[in-house]
């Protein structure tokens, strides 16, 4: 059974609770958004299976007693099948996220999260990814600067590389990435959702800050 540390809206710790109760009662908790980038200024988006849209490289809840960076490393390992030096992850920002969503069974999923957004350099090979089939279809690698301009314009497409598992190996192919491919929730814009991450990666790679 998974427990999450819970907080008040100001971030003061209140104890811990079951994950199901956290979302049933709209309790504040912490999540981590994991972003991988390379020294050439490229960023990895996962192809989120449920929505078939581009989202964070990996993401998830921070378990009770777990640090943010420990959760970063665990989520990357679980979803992408690789181990990274998560201690080198760099904070982008912490956001308050509020969303209520009606599930297929009619119940309401109530989310109140402090989203900890971090980036970390990855210089490994595409063949090393071993994707969680339940969570994602694969990854798309795109240039951060080009992606930022695309999201600002809110139309058009850029070139990218898709990495997907095909039985025992990964298939890598060139694709066109359309603006509408990116996952955006109701009330959000793509540039608001992903702009800070892209700007941070552009800053880091322009200063040659990439430690695999």
How many Å separate Cα 190 from the centre of its chain? 14
Supply 71's token pair.
């959760």
pLDDT beyond 80 at 168 = no
Q: What is the pLDDT of residues 58-88, one digit of tens each?
A: 999 999 999 999 999 999 999 999 999 999 9
pTM as predicted? 0.94
Distance in angstroms (rounded) separating the CA atoms of residues 31 and 25: 17
For 38-80, list the strands marked E by DSSP: 42-48, 53-55, 58-61
**Helix or strand or coil: residue 185?**
coil
Q: Give me the phi and psi of 56, to 5 degrees please.
A: -55, 165
Tell me whether residue 197 is exposed, middle or buried, using C-beta atoms within 10 angstroms of its C-beta: 0 to 12, 13 to 18, 19 or more. Answer: buried
* 212: confidence class by pLDDT, cuts 50, 70, 90: very low
């Amino acid at each position: 059974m998974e427990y999450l540390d819970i907080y008040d809206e100001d971030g003061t710790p209140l104890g811990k609770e079951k994950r199901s109760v956290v979302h049933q009662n709209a309790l504040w908790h912490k999540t981590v958004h994991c972003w991988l980038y390379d020294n050439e200024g490229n960023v990895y988006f996962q192809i989120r299976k449920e929505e078939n849209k581009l989202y964070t490289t990996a993401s998830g809840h921070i378990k009770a007693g777990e640090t943010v960076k420990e959760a970063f490393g665990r989520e990357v390992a679980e979803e992408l099948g690789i181990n990274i030096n998560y201690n080198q992850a760099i904070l982008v920002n912490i956001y308050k996220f509020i969303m209520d969503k009606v599930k297929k069974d009619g119940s309401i999923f109530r989310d109140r999260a402090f989203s900890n957004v971090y980036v970390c350099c990855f210089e490994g090979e595409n063949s090393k990814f071993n994707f969680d089939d339940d969570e994602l279809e694969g990854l798309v690698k795109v240039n951060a600067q080009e992606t930022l301009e695309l999201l600002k314009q809110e139309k058009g497409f850029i070139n990218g590389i898709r990495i997907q598992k095909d039985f025992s190996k990964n298939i890598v192919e060139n694709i066109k990435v359309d603006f509408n491919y990116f996952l955006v929730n109701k009330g959000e814009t793509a540039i608001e959702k992903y702009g800070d991450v892209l700007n941070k990666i552009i800053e880091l790679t322009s200063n040659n800050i990439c430690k695999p």
